[in-house]
């Protein structure tokens, strides 16, 4: 099985509908024309690097909100596991379940042999296009987590 390529800056972001808190569906295209969206793919709930990465995003949430941007975390975990993970970390932005691995595959970040996604962030502008992306080479390295500052810099330039 060959995966789709990672979408390039300027390309239309692949749409998805994933279960979030309480099992409610979250669809990327619902934000088109209204908000920028930062998609944060993380491998697994309760893993050590993810447990550091998501609270750092939570701290930066006011800056993203000031830039008219919502943050969505995405993993292959169930929406139940993601809800427990969010509670344990004090994370308030939605963590979405890519249970069927369709969003991870569409963004070219699924690691089929592992069954989960790599660590990657995609900034989707209000027109639904990729404005910035960063894909980690090493999912287990804290030093290789996509940069919050780089995403914010793109938002303040536009």
Catalytic residues, by residue number, are 50
- Given a contact cutoff of 8 angstroms between Cβ atoms, the answer to whether 75 and 117 are in contact is yes
DSSP state of 137: S
Tokens representing 94? 């939605």
DSSP code for 129: B
Determine the Cα angle at 38 with ends 34 and 44, to 5°.
140
Burial 70-100 (b: 16+ CB within 10 A, else e): bbbbbbbbebebbbebbeebebebbbbbbbe
């Amino acid at each position: 099985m060959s995966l789709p390529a990672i979408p390039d800056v300027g390309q239309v972001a692949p749409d998805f509908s994933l279960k979030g808190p309480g099992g409610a569906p979250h669809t990327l295209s619902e934000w088109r024309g209204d908000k920028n969206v930062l998609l944060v793919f993380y491998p697994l709930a309760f893993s050590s690097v993810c447990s550091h990465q998501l609270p750092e995003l939570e701290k930066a949430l006011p800056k993203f909100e000031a830039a008219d941007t919502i943050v969505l975390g995405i993993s292959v975990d169930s929406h139940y596991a993601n809800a427990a993970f969010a509670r344990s970390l004090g994370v308030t932005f939605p963590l979405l379940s890519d249970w069927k691995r369709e969003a991870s595959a569409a963004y070219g970040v699924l690691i089929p042999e592992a069954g989960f996604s790599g660590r990657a962030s995609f900034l989707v502008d209000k027109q639904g296009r990729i404005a910035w992306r960063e894909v980690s080479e090493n999912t287990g390295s804290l030093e290789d987590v996509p940069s919050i500052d780089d995403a914010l810099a793109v938002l303040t330039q536009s």
